[in-house]
């Protein structure tokens, strides 16, 4: 499959990223040049918990869960998933795709662990974010984490995942991530009945998912957003 470059005026990751406080007290990164941010300004934590944890991880109904995240970003979704594995006794295998990792200074400025009251949170976060590519780390008894520095277009897994967190930049900023070909790759990586969740509910993105064979539904969105999307590979 051909590589599609990211359409970003400053390259990637953007060089003008700055931490900004969101409405729930947690922080995200904002790029003034792109007019884009990593999470909702209405609440980074609230968005991640609503979209990826409540409607993805917990909605799949499994105790042993294989998770694929497309776009590790600041690591917030991975951290919240680790917390749920601790609280609920889940066994999670977490595979993240992130070809462009954040500089250490930026993730330190966000300080996600400081906004989350859970024992061992900081140590787990650092273990996740410091993981070497293509190696597996285990920040908790029920949570194993791996990161690959490759684009989703190069994903070759077949029927390997129960839940997909699709957390790329918006289609207006990163259009190559929201194509039918990308969602076909993701479809093949999902087990029958698996779920894909994303904050993006734009019609073009939904149609691309449907064209790839996914069953798509709009759900109520997190604070400040009317809708999110959950898609399923038919069982």
What are the structural domains of the chain?
A: 44-232 (3.40.50.150)
pLDDT of 1 above 60: no
* Global confidence as pTM: 0.93
DSSP string of 163-231, one letter each residue: EEEE-PPPTTT-GGGSSHHHHHHHHHHEEEEEEEEES---HHHHHHHHHTT-EEEEEE-STT-SEEEEE
Question: pLDDT by residue (tens digit) across 2-61?
Answer: 333 333 433 466 788 899 999 999 999 998 887 788 899 999 999 999 999 999 999 999
Residue-level pLDDT at 23: 96
State how far the Cα of 165 lies from the Cα of 128, in Å rounded to an integer: 16
State how far the Cα of 152 lies from the Cα of 174, in Å rounded to an integer: 13
Residue-level pLDDT at 8: 42
Residue-level pLDDT at 89: 97
């Amino acid at each position: 499959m051909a590589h599609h470059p990211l359409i970003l005026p400053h390259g990637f990751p953007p060089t003008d990223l700055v931490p900004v406080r969101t409405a729930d007290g947690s922080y995200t990164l904002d790029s003034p040049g792109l007019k884009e941010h990593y999470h909702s300004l209405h609440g980074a934590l609230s968005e991640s918990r609503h979209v990826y944890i409540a409607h993805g991880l917990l909605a799949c109904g499994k105790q042993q869960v294989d998770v694929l995240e497309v776009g590790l970003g600041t690591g917030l979704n991975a951290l919240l998933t680790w917390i749920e594995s601790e609280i609920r006794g889940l066994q999670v295998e977490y595979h993240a795709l992130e070809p462009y990792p954040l500089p250490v200074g930026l993730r330190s400025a966000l300080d996600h662990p400081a906004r989350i009251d859970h024992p061992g949170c900081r140590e787990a976060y650092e273990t996740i974010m410091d993981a070497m590519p293509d190696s597996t780390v285990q920040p908790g008894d029920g949570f194993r984490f791996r990161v690959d520095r490759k684009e989703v277009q190069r994903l070759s897994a077949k029927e390997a995942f129960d839940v997909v967190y699709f957390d790329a930049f918006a289609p207006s900023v990163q259009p190559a991530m929201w194509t039918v070909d990308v969602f076909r790759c993701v479809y093949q990586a999902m087990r029958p009945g698996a779920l894909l969740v994303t904050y993006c509910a734009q019609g073009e993105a939904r149609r691309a998912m449907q064209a790839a064979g996914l069953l798509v539904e709009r759900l109520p969105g997190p604070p400040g957003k009317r809708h999110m999307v959950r898609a399923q590979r038919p069982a």
